[in-house]
Amino acid sequence: AQSVTQPDIHITVSEGASLELRCNYSYGATPYLFWYVQSPGQGLQLLLKYFSGDTLVQGIKGFEAEFKRSQSSFNLRKPSVHWSDAAEYFCAVGARGGGGADGLTFGKGTHLIIQP
């Protein structure tokens, strides 16, 4: 079974500074990888996804993530954060291949705080 680890429960970043949120996964093959964002009282919004191909993927709101097979990681980055980026960020893994569960496995989330 797959698992996802987000090592940082909270991260505080100054507005305008760069951001990197860590995500490590455990899965027997190359999984489908996702980053979602959840603002208070809201549902989850898909930021970006990795299915195959280029290991650097671009998403919405200026976010990007890099898939590193050797490190089983899929870290999320943004060069300059805005106060509106304050939210909870979730990394998720989906299993490849038919026949298995297609539900996503989520990490515990990283709470991002933006300092003015």
Partner 1 sequence: DSGVTQTPKHLITATGQRVTLRCSPRSGDLSVYWYQQSLDQGLQFLIQYYNGEERAKGNILERFSAQQFPDLHSELNLSSLELGDSALYFCASSRGGRRSYNEQFFGPGTRLTVL
Dump strand ranges (E) for 1-116. Answer: 3-5, 10-14, 19-21, 24-26, 32-38, 44-50, 56-58, 64-68, 73-78, 87-94, 105-106, 110-115
Pick between residue 18 and residue 84 the one whose CB is nearest to partner 1.
Answer: 84
Closest by CA position to 89, among listed 116, 67, 108: 108
Q: How many residues sit close enough to partner 1 to count as binding (CB under 8 A)?
A: 24
Q: Which of 28, 40, 53, 98 touches partner 1 (CB under 8 A)?
A: 98
The amino acid that residue 100 corresponds to is G
Binding track over 18-37 against partner 1, x by CB under 8 A: --------------x-x-x-
Asked if 2 touches partner 1 (CB under 8 A), the answer is no
> Which residue ranges make up the site for partner 1 (CB under 8 A)?
32, 34, 36, 42-46, 49, 51, 90, 94, 96, 98, 100-109
